[in-house]
């Protein structure tokens, strides 16, 4: 009976096992079900990110900014609607074939539903402009522009991730609450009457002017610390900027970016006319570029070629700009410019023929991979029929731009396309002059000069000449003079004359100097008659310095910074004020809303003034004689007072010592 019951239990257990085996799906079906669940998790996960993006968009909208102003509202709603959660039915009883095809179908559907990635918030552009000058020289101007759609001063937000914008400058903007920063290093003087107007002027030496945010309480303290930080970043002598060479202009330097900040309390301007520019300044400047000097146009920046030229100027400009034409939100723009003029005499070239390899010892092989635009412009305005020079390789792409009130034509080489490089994967633009005769050049409408007159080392005069070469148009100019404190101006001797007649300024702002504290500041608004030369003259007296205030080479002289001339110059062509149109970088730096005029800033030469200098050889002789007398006299007296003298017997000879030994052995007293 027990055995029968045991067999029945075993039979029932076997039937249960068979039923469970028949109901269990295959291993492939189990894997498919697991894959389905994972796909569902992957499909639902982006929905949480979308909700996060929606909350970020709402917070940005409440802060007064739009998440992406370039995308229409309908497209944004459509892209967000694609990410809305939907019900997904999973059939676990599907057959094996259906389960194998389901992942592929779901992957395709997920790919179609994923919107394209948003455009990056920062972009980088680079371009090189080559302009043949009438004297046979070549002017090369590099422009590197980095724009970042971010806000460094947003409440509760700290910018920590940097992609294209240099982190060192971003931290400087945040720490010192800067609104604009403009710094330049220039070696040489731009010859305006021979070369025309540059795209961006700069005085010889180092120039720095900064606009601070209105939230800065101690502007002077921030300015002093900022100059020390920039001195370390650019490896320059900006730490020598102090109150004796810093001024607050009232009208000459207005903000170039977005904003209506006009309170001069937040503006500082300084210049070091004796600053020497060398490779130590160029190397950190190149490191600010996204690609450095490894790719793109920056590979041409070879120091031994750049500094073996007639003129070299590099600058950094940071300012806020509009993100779109409506200017609903702002972005930060970093513009790095470098201009150089190559002279065929100083470079050892006997033929009037230029190429990228002869100028920079390198050729172009590729654009910067991070650059959205990389172009080379060659000015062919005066060579429309090819009568002046030949350009190789020729390009069918031409562009016209209004630069400094004149319409210019350029041959364009787009480095983002493979056509300019050819089969050799190298671009070497060759410019060969056909004639040795210089063509007629239009004189610049605005030009300035300055010199020191007088004789002796007591008094003198500063003469500033401003030229208006327009034949029939008169226009006003703003003149800024910054004179060191050791040249004491007699402001009552100030005279302004045009065409041998007195020209009374309509606006004068004068801040007298304080000895060893601040310099003179003189600003004037002068109306220039057409086709005239306006002369500004002021007398000064040289001060006597302390012997510790002289430079190591006092007989070389003391430098006085350049005068700054700012004006809206009449244009010969109608200016294009359409902000939505894409302009070349070299023609879109100074904002101007007038169609009949363009803004230009001109710098004069720096002055070299001699001051009454004592004969530093006499103190040297006195110091040497005094030190000699003290060393001999005091040394001898000190030895007499501190040393002790003892009389010592001379040592006996060998014979006497032997005799004393014998006498000692015999018991006789020594000799």
In 3D space, the residue among 147, 234, 232 whose CA is nearest the CA of residue 183 turns out to be 234
| Res. 282 pLDDT band, cuts 50 70 90 | very high
The per-residue pLDDT for 401 is: 84
Structure tokens at 51: 């909700």
Structure tokens at 96: 């094996």
pLDDT in tens, 151-164: 888 766 778 788 89
Q: Tell me: pLDDT of 181 over 90.
A: yes
State mean pLDDT over 454-475: 93
* E-state strands within 188-322: 205-212, 246-247, 267-272, 311-322
% pLDDT > 70, the chain = 77
The per-residue pLDDT for 481 is: 95
State mean pLDDT over 115-144: 84
Cα separation, 204 vs 185, in Å, equals 7
Higher pLDDT, 47 or 72: 72
Q: Tell me: pLDDT of 60 over 70.
A: no
Q: Tell me: pLDDT of 1 over 70.
A: no
pLDDT in tens, 571-615: 877 666 665 566 788 887 876 666 778 899 999 999 999 999 988
The per-residue pLDDT for 111 is: 45
CB atoms within 10 A of CB 232: 12
Cα separation, 308 vs 343, in Å, equals 9
pLDDT in tens, 627-662: 999 899 888 888 888 888 777 777 777 888 888 888
Q: Tell me: pLDDT of 89 over 80.
A: no
The per-residue pLDDT for 120 is: 63
Q: Tell me: pLDDT of 434 over 90.
A: no
Q: What are phi and psi of 324, to 5 degrees?
A: -140, 180
Higher pLDDT, 93 or 273: 273
State mean pLDDT over 496-524: 94
| Res. 69 pLDDT band, cuts 50 70 90 | very low
% pLDDT > 90, the chain = 47
The per-residue pLDDT for 52 is: 37
Cα separation, 88 vs 90, in Å, equals 6
When mean pLDDT is compared over 11-15, 135-139, 507-511, the highest value belongs to 507-511
Higher pLDDT, 404 or 365: 365
State mean pLDDT over 328-335: 90
Residues near 238 by beta carbon (within 8 Å), at least 6 away in sequence: 206, 208, 227, 228, 230, 231, 272
The per-residue pLDDT for 175 is: 93
Cα separation, 573 vs 404, in Å, equals 10
Q: Tell me: pLDDT of 47 over 90.
A: no
The per-residue pLDDT for 575 is: 64
| Res. 231 pLDDT band, cuts 50 70 90 | very high
The per-residue pLDDT for 420 is: 87
| Res. 351 pLDDT band, cuts 50 70 90 | low
State mean pLDDT over 431-448: 78
- In contact, 407 and 458? CB cutoff 8 Å: no
Instruction: Report pTM.
Output: 0.75
Mean pLDDT score across all residues of the chain: 80
The per-residue pLDDT for 668 is: 84
The per-residue pLDDT for 104 is: 46
Cα separation, 584 vs 411, in Å, equals 13
- The residue written with tokens 């002796």 in the block is 456
The per-residue pLDDT for 404 is: 82
pLDDT in tens, 23-45: 444 334 344 333 333 343 343 33
State mean pLDDT over 54-78: 39
The per-residue pLDDT for 347 is: 55
Structure tokens at 105: 């179908």
pLDDT in tens, 503-513: 999 999 999 99
| Res. 216 pLDDT band, cuts 50 70 90 | very high
CB atoms within 10 A of CB 33: 16
Q: Provide the 3-class DSSP secondary structure of residue 220.
A: helix
The per-residue pLDDT for 574 is: 66
State mean pLDDT over 288-295: 92
- In contact, 187 and 276? CB cutoff 8 Å: yes
Higher pLDDT, 400 or 671: 400
Q: Tell me: pLDDT of 119 over 70.
A: no
| Res. 54 pLDDT band, cuts 50 70 90 | very low
Least confident of 37-46, 327-336, 539-548, 562-571: 37-46
| Res. 93 pLDDT band, cuts 50 70 90 | very low
404: left (phi over 0), alpha (psi -120 to 50) or beta: left
Q: Tell me: pLDDT of 527 over 80.
A: yes
Q: What are phi and psi of 222, to 5 degrees?
A: -65, -35
| Res. 260 pLDDT band, cuts 50 70 90 | low
């Amino acid at each position: 009976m027990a055995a029968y019951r045991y067999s029945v239990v075993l039979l029932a257990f076997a039937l249960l096992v068979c039923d469970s085996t028949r109901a269990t799906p295959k291993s492939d079906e189990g894997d498919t079900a697991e894959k389905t669940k994972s796909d569902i998790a992957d499909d639902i996960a982006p929905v949480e990110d979308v909700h996060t993006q929606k909350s970020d968009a709402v917070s940005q909208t409440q802060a007064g900014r739009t998440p992406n102003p370039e995308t229409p509202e309908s497209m944004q709603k459509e892209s967000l609607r694609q990410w809305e959660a939907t019900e997904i039915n999973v059939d676990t009883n599907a057959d094996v074939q259906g389960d194998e095809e389901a992942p592929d179908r779901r992957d395709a559907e997920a790919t179609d539903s994923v919107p394209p990635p948003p455009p990056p918030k920062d972009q980088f552009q680079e371009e090189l402009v080559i302009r043949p000058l009438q004297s046979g020289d070549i002017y090369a101007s590099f422009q590197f522009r980095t724009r970042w759609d971010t806000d460094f001063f947003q409440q509760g937000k700290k910018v920590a991730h940097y992609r294209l914008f240099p982190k060192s400058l971003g931290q400087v903007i945040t720490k010192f609450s800067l609104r604009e920063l403009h710094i330049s290093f220039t070696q040489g003087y731009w010859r305006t009457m021979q070369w025309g107007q540059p795209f961006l002027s700069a005085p010889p030496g180092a120039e720095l002017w900064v606009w601070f945010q209105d939230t800065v309480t101690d502007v002077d303290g921030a300015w002093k610390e900022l100059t020390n930080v920039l001195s370390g970043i650019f490896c320059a002598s900006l730490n020598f900027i102090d109150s004796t060479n810093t001024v607050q202009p009232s009208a000459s330097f207005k903000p170039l970016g977005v904003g209506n900040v006009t309170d001069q309390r937040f503006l500082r301007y300084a210049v070091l006319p004796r600053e020497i520019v060398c490779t130590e300044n160029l190397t950190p400047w190149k490191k600010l570029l996204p690609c450095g000097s490894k790719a793109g146009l920056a590979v041409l920046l070879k120091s031994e070629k750049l500094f073996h030229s007639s003129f070299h100027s590099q600058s950094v400009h940071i300012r806020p700009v509009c993100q779109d034409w409506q200017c609903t939100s702002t972005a930060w723009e970093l513009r790095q410019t470098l201009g150089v003029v190559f002279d065929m005499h100083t470079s050892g070239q006997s033929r009037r023929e230029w190429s990228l390899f002869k100028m920079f010892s390198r050729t172009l092989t590729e654009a910067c991979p991070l650059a959205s635009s990389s172009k080379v412009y060659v000015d062919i305005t005066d060579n429309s029929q090819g009568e002046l020079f030949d350009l190789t390789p020729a390009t069918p792409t031409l562009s016209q731009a209004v630069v400094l009130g004149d319409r210019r034509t350029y041959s364009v080489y787009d480095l983002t396309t493979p056509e300019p490089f050819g089969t050799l994967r190298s671009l070497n633009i060759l410019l060969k002059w056909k004639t040795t005769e210089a063509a007629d050049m239009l004189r610049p409408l605005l030009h300035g000069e300055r010199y020191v007159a007088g004789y002796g080392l007591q008094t003198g005069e500063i003469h500033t000449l401003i030229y208006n070469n327009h034949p029939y148009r008169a226009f006003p100019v703003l003149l800024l003079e910054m004179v060191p404190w050791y040249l004491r101006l007699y402001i009552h001797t100030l005279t302004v004359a045009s065409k041998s007649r007195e020209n009374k300024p309509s606006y004068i702002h004068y801040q007298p100097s304080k000895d060893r504290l601040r310099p003179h500041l003189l600003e004037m608004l002068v109306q220039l008659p057409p086709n005239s030369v306006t002369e500004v003259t002021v007398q000064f007296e040289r001060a006597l310095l302390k012997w510790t205030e002289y430079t190591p080479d006092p007989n070389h002289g003391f430098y006085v910074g350049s005068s700054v001339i700012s004006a809206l110059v009449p244009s010969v062509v109608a200016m294009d004020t359409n902000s939505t149109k894409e302009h070349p970088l070299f023609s879109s730096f100074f904002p101007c809303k007038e169609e009949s005029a363009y803004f230009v800033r001109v710098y004069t030469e720096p002055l070299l003034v001699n001051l009454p200098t004592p004969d530093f050889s006499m103190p040297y002789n006195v110091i040497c004689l005094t030190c000699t007398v003290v060393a001999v006299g005091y040394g001898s007296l000190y030895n007499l007072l501190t040393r002790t003298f003892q009389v010592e017997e001379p040592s006996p000879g060998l014979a006497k010592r032997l005799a004393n030994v014998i006498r000692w052995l015999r018991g006789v007293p020594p000799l």
